[in-house]
Amino acid sequence: MFTGKTQNLGVMGYPVAHSLSPAMHNAALQAAALDYAYIAMPVAPEQLKEAVMGLRGLGFRGVNVTIPHKTAIMEYLDFIDEDARIIGAVNTVVNKAGQLHGYNTDRIGFIQALQQAGFQPAGKQVVLLGAGGAARAVLWGLIKERVASIHIGVRNPGKAQLLATEFQGTVPIEVFDWQDPGFQQGLQQADFLVNTTPLGMYPRLDGAPVVDWQYVSPQAFVYDIIYTPVKTKFLQQAEDRGCQILNGEGMLAGQGAAAFQLWTGQKADIAVMKQALRQGLRQAQG
Ligand code: NAP
């Protein structure tokens, strides 16, 4: 039941009707008996500035930000936190007495899910597949956890090289075309493989990044940040090889829980969030 005291939250994107965030956050807010409402707000790119001014004017407590606004919104905010600045994207805004603060909680979601699965990335040799938006948060998360090295495997090394150059001077980062035989060396040394490409995501279940599994140690830990399907072809291949696997559900719930805490000051019930996500996905997929 909403009242005159109910505080407003939401997600701004375009399109945004498919977003699972309203279901996930409203479930967690209800479970914590917090008087907030979370809605989906479609914002066309040319209306982003007005929409951000509207958040201030309407006194929204905060919002999530999704495609295509994650980078564009930064110029309209009053403060950008370090993770968001380094990643180059904001996924959470908090209204602090009229000042809009931008955060990126993807790094926290990615690392917390990994650690909860029992894998500590410090000192490990990493193979990162893909170099898009999500890869930036993953890369920064791994650097912050002090991994030993990162081999990036992609279809388009030129673009990935720009990303590697941005992060040079942190940990050794090398970029490979994943079809290149040189990439096999990274696979042989890897303690940890992470897919950040959309290959294998519902409904295109047949896709998978190019990995020659004979070079991968069965002791390696394999993480796919895709959360639908539960087990992508990539994770199935890893499991067949004997590797421990993890999907993106924990990262999605974890980034949401970190945003929830920024807005409400309280810890979210991650189990409730995951349950709402699963239910939302089942409904979306019929
Ligand atoms: P993005 O910015 O579009 O980046 C996609 C990356 O994958 C790029 O490096 C792209 O290469 C590569 N790629 C795309 N299609 C490919 C193909 N057919 N063959 C080879 N490489 C391909 O996307 P994103 O925002 O990073 O999202 C990537 C995935 O992560 C999505 O499945 C998304 O659902 C998932 N994700 C999950 C979470 C979570 O919380 N679990 C959070 C964020 C994202 P090019 O540069 O060559 O195009």
CA–centroid distance, residue 198 to ligand 1 (Å):
4
Q: Compute CA 280 distance to the chain's CA centroid, rounded to the nearest angstrom.
A: 18
Predicted model pTM: 0.96
Q: What tokens were used for 226? A: 């895709």
CA–centroid distance, residue 77 to ligand 1 (Å):
26
Q: Is 253 in the pocket of ligand 1 (CB under 6 A)?
A: no
Report, as an integer, the average pLDDT of 245-256: 98
Report, as an integer, the average pLDDT of 138-154: 98
Rounded CA separation 23/39 (Å)? 9
Q: With 90 as the cut, is the pLDDT of residue 37 above it?
A: yes
Distance from the first to the final alpha carbon of the chain? 29
Model pLDDT, residue 286: 76
Q: With 80 as the cut, is the pLDDT of residue 272 above it?
A: yes
Angle at 24 between CA 22 and CA 26, to 5 degrees: 60
Q: In this structure, what DSSP letter does residue 37 have?
A: E
* Sequential DSSP letters for 241-254: HT-EEE-THHHHHH
Q: Is 196 in the pocket of ligand 1 (CB under 6 A)?
A: yes
CA–centroid distance, residue 74 to ligand 1 (Å):
21
* Sequential DSSP letters for 182-221: THHHHHHH-SEEEE-S-TT-TT-TT------GGGS-TT-E
Q: Whose CA is nearest to atom 47 of ligand 1?
A: 156
CA–centroid distance, residue 120 to ligand 1 (Å):
24
pLDDT mean across residues, the chain: 97
Q: Tell me the pLDDT tens digit for each residue of 153-179.
A: 999 999 999 999 999 999 999 999 999
Report, as an integer, the average pLDDT of 131-157: 97
Question: 38 has which bridge partners?
Answer: 9
Which atom number of ligand 1 is nearest to the Cα of residue 210?
20
Q: Tell me the pLDDT tens digit for each residue of 59-110.
A: 999 999 999 999 999 999 999 999 999 999 999 999 999 999 999 999 999 9
Model pLDDT, residue 285: 84
Cis before 209? omega within 30: no
User: Using 50, 70 and 90 to split pLDDT, how confident is the model at 1?
Assistant: confident
Q: Is 139 in the pocket of ligand 1 (CB under 6 A)?
A: no
Q: Is 254 in the pocket of ligand 1 (CB under 6 A)?
A: no
Counts for the chain of helices (H) and strands (E), in that order: 10, 12
What sign results for the dihedral spanned by CA atoms 131, 136, 138, 141?
positive
Percent of the chain with pLDDT over 90: 98
Query: Is 55 exposed, middle or buried (CB count within 10 Å of its CB: 0-12, 13-18, 19+)?
Result: buried
- Tell me how crowded residue 213 is: count the other CB atoms within 10 A of its CB: 17
Catalytic positions, written as ranges: 70
Rounded CA separation 211/235 (Å)? 11
**Alpha-carbon dihedral 252, 253, 257, 263, rounded to 10 degrees:** 60
Report, as an integer, the average pLDDT of 239-256: 98
Strands (E) in the chain, as ranges, are 7-13, 36-42, 62-65, 79-80, 92-96, 99-103, 125-129, 149-154, 173-177, 192-195, 221-224, 244-246
Rounded CA separation 177/237 (Å)? 20
Model pLDDT, residue 252: 97
Rounded CA separation 29/32 (Å)? 5
